Amino acid sequence: MLGEVDLNKNLSKKEYKEMMDVLAPKFSALQREARKKGLPVMIVFEGWGASGKGTLINRLIQPLDPRGFKVFTVQEENEEERMHPFLWRFWTKTPQKGRIHIFDRSWYRRVITEQMDQPMSQKKLASSYQQILSFEEQLAADGTLIIKFFLHISADEQEKRLKKLERSPETKWRVTKADWKHFKQYKGYFPMYDYMLEQTDMAWAPWHVIEAMDREYAALKVMAVAAKMMEERLRKMDRVKQSEKEAEKASDVPLDFQETVRTSVLDGVDMSLSMTKEAYKKRLAQLQDELMRLHNEMYLKRIPVVVALEGWDAAGKGGAIKRLTEPLDPRGYEVVPTAAPNDIEKAHHYLWRFWKEMPKDGHMTIFDRTWYGRVMVERIEGFCSQNEWRRAYREINQMEQNLTDHGVVVLKFWLQIDKDEQERRFKERMEDPEKQWKITDEDWRNRGKWDEYVKAVDEMILRTSTTCAPWTIVEANSKYYARIKILETVVRALKKRV
Amino acid sequence: MLGEVDLNKNLSKKEYKEMMDVLAPKFSALQREARKKGLPVMIVFEGWGASGKGTLINRLIQPLDPRGFKVFTVQEENEEERMHPFLWRFWTKTPQKGRIHIFDRSWYRRVITEQMDQPMSQKKLASSYQQILSFEEQLAADGTLIIKFFLHISADEQEKRLKKLERSPETKWRVTKADWKHFKQYKGYFPMYDYMLEQTDMAWAPWHVIEAMDREYAALKVMAVAAKMMEERLRKMDRVKQSEKEAEKASDVPLDFQETVRTSVLDGVDMSLSMTKEAYKKRLAQLQDELMRLHNEMYLKRIPVVVALEGWDAAGKGGAIKRLTEPLDPRGYEVVPTAAPNDIEKAHHYLWRFWKEMPKDGHMTIFDRTWYGRVMVERIEGFCSQNEWRRAYREINQMEQNLTDHGVVVLKFWLQIDKDEQERRFKERMEDPEKQWKITDEDWRNRGKWDEYVKAVDEMILRTSTTCAPWTIVEANSKYYARIKILETVVRALKKRV
């Protein structure tokens, strides 16, 4: 893409000022409208060293209300970041609805600077591109407006600018050895940038190449493009809002016997499996011993682990977590309970709150209910649209792939009990004053939707049992049996890795 | 995905008949509605050998009007097909609006059977998956409903069925050595199928796993799923139609100085380049000699070539094609002129008519105007929506990547003349009785949209100049210079490859 760009674009100071006087107030108004309508915006600046990213970002934010945007400077990963999948630091920085997040360099660092300094294998590079594409696609599909700028200058101009910076005592410090090294690699970077632009120029997140030889021209163009894209999107939001709502209403048109022909996973589960108390106690002690040892090794070898627990209400998730964590060093694990999302969480992509909690290398995070809420409760209660939960299978698979690519052990458990057993447990809880708090009206309401849940769970397990992150279905009518199966699965998985 | 499926599903003959009596007429009505509303449908059957694909397809088509569907049996590539990119045979078989195309095995053969029989490199396998995904995505985005079935049976069942077929003299011939070989590889196929399902289970083309142990159950489920998906889509089409139209109307909200800040490619072209007649004649003779030799070598080495010519009206495409083809053996090349699409072409994906014309190995196809019409005339005249032409950059890049992955040399030329030169040529043509036919009212109308075209061409060249298929901008104010530059570029590219 870069070879074709005409770099001789410029504006006189006078032209610049005249045009900015029109543009700046407009851009400012668009920010206010975006906040009001809840549009999240990500603006990415990539480009050559000394191409003026700092200056252009500075000019871009002049008209903006400082309470509504934030600028992130992306440098080398710090230690915390290195211990997570590489997109983790960007997932945690995605803007909530109505805010503008501006990135001075971005996730593209991975496939450019890092690749130049320390080339990765073709396979890893391809997977990094894949991850970047799915990151942007997921955010775009969720409604985030992504605006990507590439600031383009010639090698001569880059040299001129670096020398100028060096001449002045005030700016000399800004030119590092690395800058000159990169300058000497201009020709090597060129095809890499070209490839990057080509691979990631998607309709939902297109690149805008900025001819950055002339600062005035570049500053005006950056703001004009940003304003145009925001305006287009806001107008589209106005139009789409109504029609989408109508579309959702009637979007499930079932035939008469969908029930008969649904794919079943849970039907085949053997609910009679159980275990005596004696056998349980003996095996539990063995497994907990092993687990203690493995957790330690895992920590030393910096292997991160995610344990995801899903299952019917009263299926015994709490008890299983207790047995699982008893032998573990509390500095090395965390239990994350998942409730309904709060307001901040609702204003982000639904995976954002889980990305934040992902374990760093050597740690274990146990999720008591998970991101699978999207395709169960949110699907059934209509908290998200049909398009959204259908898309979620793929999005979840991609997130888990990101994790396992980074080396995370991902273990997912579905605790299966039958309807009679659930009723027995509900009643037991209600009769026990110490356990009454555990049972709410909502639990009974959910129980009323048992069949809908079966359908959703069947589809969920089918579509998200992947090679890298398979589901384990736990026959949980017997709590003893269930706990042992979970611990055994965890122990087996860890043994494979340490 | 497969490991979790409960295979113990069945229906009694009576249940089957009762349900089919309701379902079949409904499915039949849906076909009529799909034809009326112009919905193209692709139904894919994949699955284990002896899982009953033939039987199920047969039952599925019973209620259908035979004039509205077609069944394709996909076997090994024939010689013609091997000489094209692997998706070529499927692109040419995509259904036009209102028709149902059913595939007994499909493009997934590439990543399963072929991969099992003759494993390709990881890189090639990854690229095949990429191509499959973009094929389905492009068709889905264009409105084709894609329904994918995977017929699942156990290894025991497969063995039982093969033996049963062998026992009867009438069906014995159907069981081949390859069938038994595949049966013995059941365990090897299992993770491959699982991986395939996982990689290609997209929201816009999800897989439906069919428990195919019981024929009645499977037949009912296949038809019920197909009917449900068609019904959902048809209802959605009703709703979306109106709102989309409204959305298009106001979808371009330009700011005041888009013109000033647009990316320019053509501005930088040196229009003064020219050549004397004498130099031209000499060089032309040399190049044509070389070209003749290269065309021959290309044929022997089975290298396919695509030459794509775009440019302003009267920029000299015809003259250039004449000089290019003069030295070529007519059995080894074809010139494809591109006019406005006819009715059949309009009823297909816009790339379909170009896929059909792609050269087989060893041949050259010269396109006089091309698929880039999508982002020029169709964009400017509003023949496609903004979403459609924005998406097209990516789609075109993907198609060209498919071609170059197969080994095609793709050369794209933009013939650039300035506005004055065009006027001069138009007038010249009008005054010459032999050339008057070449100039129409439409040419003058297009000329009136010069600035809009400049903008579209700039963006087109920027977004579709890729590493594998770059644009060459030809300074064409001088016809001599232009022809020589085109021939030189072709010769250079061929020399690199033979």
Of B7, B221, B235, the CB nearest to A250: B235
For Cα atoms A416, A422, A425, give the angle at the middle one, nearest 5 degrees: 125
Q: Which of A407, A256, A20, A120 is nearest to B261 (CA)?
A: A20
Which residues from chain A sit within 8 angstroms of residue B243, using beta carbons? 239-240, 242-243, 246-247
Give the per-residue pLDDT at B441. 85
Give the per-residue pLDDT at B334. 93
Of B11, B201, B387, the CB nearest to A393: B201
Q: Which of B70, B74, B73 is nearest to B95 (CA)?
A: B70
Give the per-residue pLDDT at A257. 64
pLDDT bin (cut points 50, 70, 90) of residue B224 is very high
Which residues from chain B sit within 8 angstroms of residue A217, using beta carbons? 261
Which residues from chain A sit within 8 angstroms of residue B256, using beta carbons? 19, 22
Give the per-residue pLDDT at A247. 59
State the alpha helices, DSSP H only, in B407-448: 419-431, 441-448
Q: What is the mean pLDDT of chain B?
A: 91
Give the per-residue pLDDT at B173. 86
Q: Tokens in use for A368?
A: 């008591």
Which residues from chain B sit within 8 angstroms of residue A126, using beta carbons? 126
Q: Count A/B contacts: CB-CB distance under 8 Å.
A: 182
CA distance A110 to A133: 13
Of A228, A243, A253, the CB nearest to B243: A243
Give the per-residue pLDDT at A267. 83
- Classify A273-497 by CATH class: alpha beta
Which residues from chain B sit within 8 angstroms of residue A3, using beta carbons? 465, 470
One-letter identity of residue B144: T
For Cα atoms A179, A184, A189, give the angle at the middle one, nearest 5 degrees: 90
Of B4, B462, B471, the CB nearest to A209: B462
Which whole number is the average pLDDT over B166-170?
A: 89
pLDDT tens for each residue of B242-296? 666 665 555 454 555 666 677 778 888 899 999 999 999 999 999 999 999 999 9
Shortest distance between the Cα of B416 and any Cα of chain A, in A, equals 14
A201 with B393: Cβ contact below 8 A: yes
CA distance B407 to B169: 46
Report the greatest alpha carbon distance in chain A.
88
pLDDT tens for each residue of A200-220? 999 899 999 999 999 999 999
Instruction: Inform me whether the pLDDT recorded for A261 exceeds 80.
Output: no
Give the per-residue pLDDT at A174. 83
pLDDT bin (cut points 50, 70, 90) of residue A2 is confident
Q: Tokens in use for B354?
A: 């170009």
Give the per-residue pLDDT at A465. 92
Residue holding tokens 């590539």? B77
State the alpha helices, DSSP H only, in A301-346: 317-325, 343-346
B201 with A394: Cβ contact below 8 A: yes
Shortest distance between the Cα of B16 and any Cα of chain A, in A, equals 11
pLDDT tens for each residue of A445-493? 889 999 999 999 999 999 999 989 999 999 999 999 999 999 999 999 9
Give the per-residue pLDDT at A243. 63
Give the per-residue pLDDT at A253. 46
Helices first, then strands: H and E counts in chain B: 21, 10
pLDDT tens for each residue of A268-327? 889 999 999 999 999 999 999 999 999 999 999 999 999 999 999 999 999 999 999 999
pLDDT tens for each residue of A30-80? 999 999 999 999 999 999 999 999 999 999 999 999 889 999 999 999 999
One-letter identity of residue A245: K
Report the greatest alpha carbon distance in chain B.
88
Beta strands in B18-155 (DSSP E): 41-47, 69-73, 100-104, 145-152
Q: Is B85 exposed, middle or buried (0-12, 13-18, 19+ CB in 10 A)?
A: buried
Which residues from chain B sit within 8 angstroms of residue A195, using beta carbons? 467
Which residues from chain B sit within 8 angstroms of residue A19, using beta carbons? 256-257, 260
Give the per-residue pLDDT at A17. 94
pLDDT bin (cut points 50, 70, 90) of residue A123 is confident
A236 with B227: Cβ contact below 8 A: no
Which residues from chain B sit within 8 angstroms of residue A258, using beta carbons? 224, 228
B255 with A231: Cβ contact below 8 A: yes
- Choose from B246, B462, B467, B471 for mutation: most chain A CBs within 10 A: B462
Give the per-residue pLDDT at B53. 94
Helices first, then strands: H and E counts in chain A: 21, 10
Q: Tokens in use for B428?
A: 């010249």
Which residues from chain A sit within 8 angstroms of residue B232, using beta carbons? 251-253
Which whole number is the average pLDDT over B355-376?
A: 96
Q: What is the mean pLDDT of chain A?
A: 91
CATH number belonging to the domain at A2-241, selected among 3.40.50.300, 3.30.479.30, 3.40.50.10490, 2.60.40.10: 3.40.50.300
Q: Where are the domains of chain A?
A: 2-241, 273-497
Which whole number is the average pLDDT over B198-216?
A: 93
CATH number belonging to the domain at B269-497, selected among 3.30.70.3040, 2.60.120.330, 3.40.50.300, 3.10.20.440: 3.40.50.300
Shortest distance between the Cα of A167 and any Cα of chain B, in A, equals 32
Give the per-residue pLDDT at B253. 45
Domains A2-241 and A273-497 share a fold: yes
Which residues from chain A sit within 8 angstroms of residue B9, using beta carbons? 264
In chain A, pLDDT over 90 holds for what percent of residues? 77
B4 with A201: Cβ contact below 8 A: no
B202 with A8: Cβ contact below 8 A: no
Shortest distance between the Cα of A62 and any Cα of chain B, in A, equals 19
- Choose from A4, A195, A208, A386 for mutation: most chain B CBs within 10 A: A4
For the domain spanning B2-237, the CATH number is 3.40.50.300
A4 with B461: Cβ contact below 8 A: yes
pLDDT tens for each residue of A391-411? 999 999 999 999 999 999 999
Q: Which of A218, A192, A193, A196 is nearest to A205 (CA)?
A: A196
SS3 label, residue A307:
strand
Instruction: Inform me whether the pLDDT recorded for B387 exceeds 70.
Output: yes
pLDDT tens for each residue of B311-328? 999 999 999 999 999 999
Which residues from chain B sit within 8 angstroms of residue A232, using beta carbons? 251-253
Q: Tokens in use for A204?
A: 């939902």
pLDDT tens for each residue of B94-117? 999 999 999 999 999 999 988 888
pLDDT tens for each residue of B44-102? 999 999 999 999 999 999 999 988 999 999 999 999 999 999 999 999 999 999 999 99
pLDDT bin (cut points 50, 70, 90) of residue A259 is low
Give the per-residue pLDDT at A256. 58
- Choose from A14, A228, A457, A462 for mutation: most chain B CBs within 10 A: A462
Shortest distance between the Cα of A83 and any Cα of chain B, in A, equals 27
Of A126, A265, A390, the CB nearest to B203: A390
ipTM above threshold 0.85? no
B465 with A1: Cβ contact below 8 A: yes
